[in-house]
A = this chain, B = another copy of it.
Amino acid sequence: MPSTDAELKKAGLKVTSPRIKILDILKKPEHQHVSAEDVYRILIEQEDEVGLATVYRVLNQFDDAGIVTRHHFEGGRSVFELSAKKHHDHLVCLTCGRVIEFEDEVIERRQLEVAQANQIELTNHSLYLYGECKNADNCEYNTEDANPGRFGV
C-alpha cells in the first residue's frame, strides 16, 4: 500500500498538510463513512486547524481523483468513504447508524439484466438497505460510535 504522500502525488495533487491530515482520517477504520462536517469536527478535535471550505474542496478533489466515493444517504448530506478496492452496497441500522458493507453477486447480476432489458447502459448504481438491529446487544446504540438520528427516517 502506497504512503499517503505517494497516493496524493499519484492523484496529481500537491502534497499539503490539510490533504495529508484528511486522507489519514479517512483511512482510519472508525471513520469509514464520514460527512464533510464530520471530517472538520475530527480535525478540530485533534487540534488541527483546517478551514471547512478546504475540507469540502479536498473531499471533492479526492472524489474526482477516485480516492473516495461520495454517497447520498437519506437525510441530504453527502457521506464519503475511501474508495473500496471492491464494489459493495450498504446496510444501515437506523437506530445506531452502524453501516454494514455487503456484496451480493445475485443482486449485481440482476441489476445488469434489468438495465439490459430496458436498453440502458448501466454506469453505476446505489443500493441502501435500511433497518434495525434485531438484538439490542448487537445494536451499537449507546456506544461511543453511535450516531443516533443521523440516518433517521
- Which single member of B110, B128, B134 contacts A126 (CB below 8 Å)? B128
**B132:A123 contact, CB within 8 angstroms:** yes
CA–CA, A107 and B113, complex, Å: 11
**A74:B118 contact, CB within 8 angstroms:** no
- Which single member of B102, B123, B132 contacts A131 (CB below 8 Å)? B123
Within the complex, what minimum Cβ distance (angstroms) separates A85 from chain B?
20
Q: Nearest residue in B to A75 (C-beta to C-beta)?
A: B72
**A111-132 interface code vs B (CB 8 A; 1 in, 0 out):** 1001100111111111111111
**B127:A126 contact, CB within 8 angstroms:** yes
**B121:A129 contact, CB within 8 angstroms:** no
> How many copies, total?
2
Contacts of A100 in B (CB 8 A): 118, 120
**B134:A121 contact, CB within 8 angstroms:** yes
- Interface size of A by Cβ–Cβ distance < 8 Å? 35
Q: Nearest residue in B to A117 (C-beta to C-beta)?
A: B102
Contacts of A74 in B (CB 8 A): 72, 126
- Which single member of B114, B122, B131 contacts A120 (CB below 8 Å)? B131
Q: Say yes or no: A128-B130 contact (C-beta < 8 A), given A72-B74, A91-B118.
A: no
- Which single member of B91, B124, B131, B153 contacts A130 (CB below 8 Å)? B124
Binding site for B on A (CB under 8 A): 72, 74, 76, 91, 93-94, 100, 102, 104, 106-107, 110-111, 114-115, 118-135, 138, 153
**Pairs of residues from A and B, 3 with the lowest C-beta to C-beta distance, nearest first:** A120-B131, A122-B131, A125-B129
